[in-house]
């Protein structure tokens, strides 16, 4: 008599999607009313100076600010979709072209090496020649890669990895830098910046989910015929983004001598302990996020567990969307916590999540819940760090500060990839433990930053 062993593929409960959607919707729709209620109970002067919002309409003094914000979020969403298109079928596409595990890991190492050796200095280039030109480079890299994959059946994997890594490095600082610089030059209210920061995180997460839907729809069930179809989508998106950059974006021409820039960078960035603390926190966050996206799938499918990974991916990004909607509640005056306090608690919670993952075997449902909490923390941390950068970092040095802060993280990731994943000298739990330790140190940095005191905002001299 034979025994039949039934196996099932684990999928997240559909109720999780519903909860994330309605929680995000409630947070967004309820915030303006809570903010208005708070303002009405305060002084009349604070009530009259209420910050303009993307959800307010028809007020002529804020029309230009809202138009600027919406135009920026449109181009930023296009860029986010381009970034997401290549990652949806990343490892599957490499296996489709016949690459072995060692070859995949080598291409990943090459990508992080390019980010370390070249990407770290692209922010400096952005500050010197202007962020708009570097945003052009971002679109050109995606356009070039899309055309190359359409023309050549088997493009160079190493060249592809380098292009995508450089584009990701540019994406991490160039659009934010351009927005902040233009926001100040056009004289928009500073209150609008905090709103734009959390909307950037919200729309980026939504766009990444959209890129997954688009890629799956384009490829469909015929993988052999449609594998390169997402390259066509990247080409069209890159062309649209280039047109938007040419026609809709403005930038004041600037000529900055490298010698003068280096002197200013040494004085305002290297010479400020508060910025050093902010740099370390950013580096630890970048390292932990990279470690998560490299290891989350192997952790979930450990011991041969069958999981529908494509359905879990939107849960993470949806959680990040929900986390980003929490940010305006914390900084609107409804909470007595400062931005640094919020970051301390968020970093500690995320560190605890990774610690549990590293040292305790968990069921799939528990792991997915922990990872969703991790991404909800990311949704709140990204706009919070952007707000602190506006407080402490001169706009003319913002791109260089962000890109150089990623250098130690990229070096650490490259080391762990070579030793852990390529030579199998370090286990996944050890790598995650280091990421958790980094998040705890980032929490300490934010605590010390608060003790140093807030730097009052003033208009920095242009280089």
- Report whether pLDDT(225) > 60: yes
Find the domain containing 95 and state its range.
65-452
376 pLDDT band, cuts 50/70/90, is: very high
pLDDT digits (tens, 9 = 90+) for 31-41: 776 665 555 54
Is 137 a member of any domain? Answer: yes
Number of domains observed in the structure of the chain: 1
Task: CATH number of the domain at 221, please.
Answer: 1.20.1250.20
The burial of 418, by beta-carbon neighbours within 10 Å (0-12 exposed, 13-18 middle, 19 or more buried), is given as middle
5 pLDDT band, cuts 50/70/90, is: very low
Is 120 a member of any domain? Answer: yes
Secondary structure class of 10 (helix, strand, coil): strand
- Report whether pLDDT(44) > 70: no
The better pLDDT of the pair 3, 225 is held by: 225
Secondary structure class of 426 (helix, strand, coil): coil
Is 294 a member of any domain? Answer: yes
Is 231 a member of any domain? Answer: yes
Is 364 a member of any domain? Answer: yes
Is 399 a member of any domain? Answer: yes
Question: HEC profile for 102-144?
Answer: HHHHHHHHHHHHHHHHCHHHHHHHHHHHCHHHHHHHHHHHHHH
- Report whether pLDDT(372) > 90: yes
Q: Which of 124, 336, 118, 143 is nearest to 242 (CA)?
A: 143
Is 459 a member of any domain? Answer: no
Distance of alpha carbon 370 from alpha carbon 13, whole angstroms = 15
pLDDT at 437: 96
């Amino acid at each position: 008599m034979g025994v039949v062993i039934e196996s099932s593929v684990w999928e997240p409960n559909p109720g999780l999607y519903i909860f994330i959607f309605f929680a995000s919707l409630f947070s967004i729709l309820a915030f303006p009313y809570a903010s208005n209620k708070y303002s009405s109970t305060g002084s009349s002067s604070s009530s009259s100076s209420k910050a303009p919002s993307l959800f307010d309409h028809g007020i002529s003094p804020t029309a230009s600010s809202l138009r600027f914000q919406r135009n920026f979020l449109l181009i930023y969403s296009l860029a986010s979709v381009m970034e997401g298109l290549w990652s949806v079928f990343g490892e599957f596409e490499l296996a489709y072209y016949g690459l072995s595990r060692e070859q995949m890991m080598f291409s990943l190492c090459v990508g992080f090496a390019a980010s370390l050796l070249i990407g770290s200095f692209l922010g400096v280039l952005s500050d010197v020649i202007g962020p708009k030109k570097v945003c052009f480079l971002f679109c050109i890299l995606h356009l070039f890669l899309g055309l190359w994959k359409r023309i050549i059946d088997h493009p160079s994997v190493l060249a592809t990895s380098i292009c995508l890594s450089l584009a990701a490095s540019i994406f991490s600082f160039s659009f934010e830098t351009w927005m902040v610089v233009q926001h100040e030059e056009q004289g928009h209210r500073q209150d609008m910046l905090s709103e734009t920061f959390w909307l950037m995180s919200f729309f980026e997460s939504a766009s990444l989910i959209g890129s997954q839907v688009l890629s799956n729809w384009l490829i469909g069930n015929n993988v052999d015929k449609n594998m390169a179809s997402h390259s066509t989508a990247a080409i069209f998106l890159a062309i649209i983004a280039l047109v938007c950059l040419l026609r809709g974006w403005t930038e004041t021409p600037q000529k900055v001598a490298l010698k003068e820039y280096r002197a200013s960078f040494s004085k305002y960035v290297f010479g400020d302990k508060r910025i050093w603390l902010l740099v370390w926190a950013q580096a630890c966050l970048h390292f932990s996020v990279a470690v998560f996206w490299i290891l989350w799938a192997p952790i979930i499918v450990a011991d041969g567990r069958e999981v529908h990974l494509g359905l879990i991916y939107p849960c993470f990004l949806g959680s990040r969307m929900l986390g980003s909607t929490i940010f305006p509640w914390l900084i609107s005056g409804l909470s007595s916590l400062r931005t640094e306090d919020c970051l301390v608690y968020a970093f500690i919670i995320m560190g605890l999540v990774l610690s549990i993952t590293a040292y305790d075997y968990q069921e799939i449902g528990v792991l997915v819940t922990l990872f969703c909490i991790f991404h909800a923390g990311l949704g709140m941390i990204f706009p919070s760090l952007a707000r602190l950068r506006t407080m402490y970092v001169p706009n003319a040095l913002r791109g260089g500060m962000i890109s150089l802060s990623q250098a130690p993280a990229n070096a650490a990731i490259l080391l762990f990839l070579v030793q852990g994943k390529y030579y199998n000298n370090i286990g996944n739990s050890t790598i995650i433990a280091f990421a958790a330790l980094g998040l705890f140190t980032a929490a300490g940095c934010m605590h010390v930053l608060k003790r140093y005191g807030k730097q009052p905002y003033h208009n920095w001299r242009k280089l």
